[in-house]
Amino acid sequence: MGKKAFIFPGQGSQYVGMAKDLFENSVEAKEMILTAEEATGLPLRNLMFNGPEESLKQTDVTQPAIYLHSVVLSSLIRTLEPDFVAGHSLGEYSALTAAGAVQFYEAIKLVHARGKAMLKAGIENPGTMAAVIGLEPEKLMDICNIAGEEGIVQCANFNSPGQIVISGSVTGVRKAMEIAKREGAKLVKELVVSGAFHSPLMENAREELKETLESTPFYDAKKPVYTNVTAKPVQNKDEIKELLLAQLTKPVRWEESIKNMIEDGADEFYEVGPGKVLQGLVKRINPDVRIFGIEKYSDLERYL
């Protein structure tokens, strides 16, 4: 028998109207959303259901919103049990909650603190990110090393074959973009972001989150969590905390994580949360595995 993996999306998957149908159709979902509002002090219902999009795109709102949507869904799935879990950047917090490594009420506060710390770090150390399509990882890492003479830049997300995101200072990233185009990248596009995520420019966020993270109770995960920093399965609570902190300045090794899960027997992937970004990435990493999306109440009904 093949194994099942739940994968959870990160920032960029939010949209106005997210989780509204869950709130309207499930008492449990309604309670969780109201609890999240109480824990964070944010008007999450209004922002998620009605927008405006500009407000929903603010990092300190986006992160709790996506986490909440994902975790409400995974909490309501009754008949489907994952063997492995993983989440893309912010999604790692959803994965850890699904694996029983952290309680929902504690995690939503932690995610809100992470969003605020990252937003603040983005203001203190402004930076940018860019997607680069069509270059090998080694080639792009060399380009970042060369461009590093102009300013900080590193590979931030190894998403799928030939799709990598770079992150760092505006001068460093733009220099790397210029070289990548010259070196034959199919597409190079600067992203609209509020900071240089997964780069050394997030060091202040790391320092700020450290205290909150240390005071949040964690438990050994009930199932393997393939983490962004190592791309390997982890269950030990102390290791999980260390990796969550490291994750802010280190690259997301998503392609490797998916390949490792497949190697360990996963042949069915369920993206649990808003959007379809991860489904697209998994298809590009390995078109032979089966991929499903659980995003709406109607998707949930077969698993209740």
Which of the residues are catalytic?
89, 198
Question: Please, are residues 2 and 268 in contact by the beta-carbon 8 Å criterion?
Answer: yes
Of 11, 152, 177, nearest to 94 by C-alpha is 11
Of 90, 24, 97, nearest to 300 by C-alpha is 24
Q: Is 26 helix (H, G, I), strand (E, B) or coil?
A: coil
Is-cis flag, bond preceding 251, omega within 30?
Answer: no
CA distance 137 to 166: 11
Per-residue DSSP letters for 250-302?
S-B-HHHHHHHHHHTTEEEEEEESSSSHHHHHHHHH-TTSEEEEE-SHHHHGG
- Token couple for 86: 């993983």
Sign of the four-CA dihedral 117, 120, 121, 126:
positive
Measured torsion, CA atoms of residues 125, 131, 132, 133, in degrees rounded to the nearest 10: 170
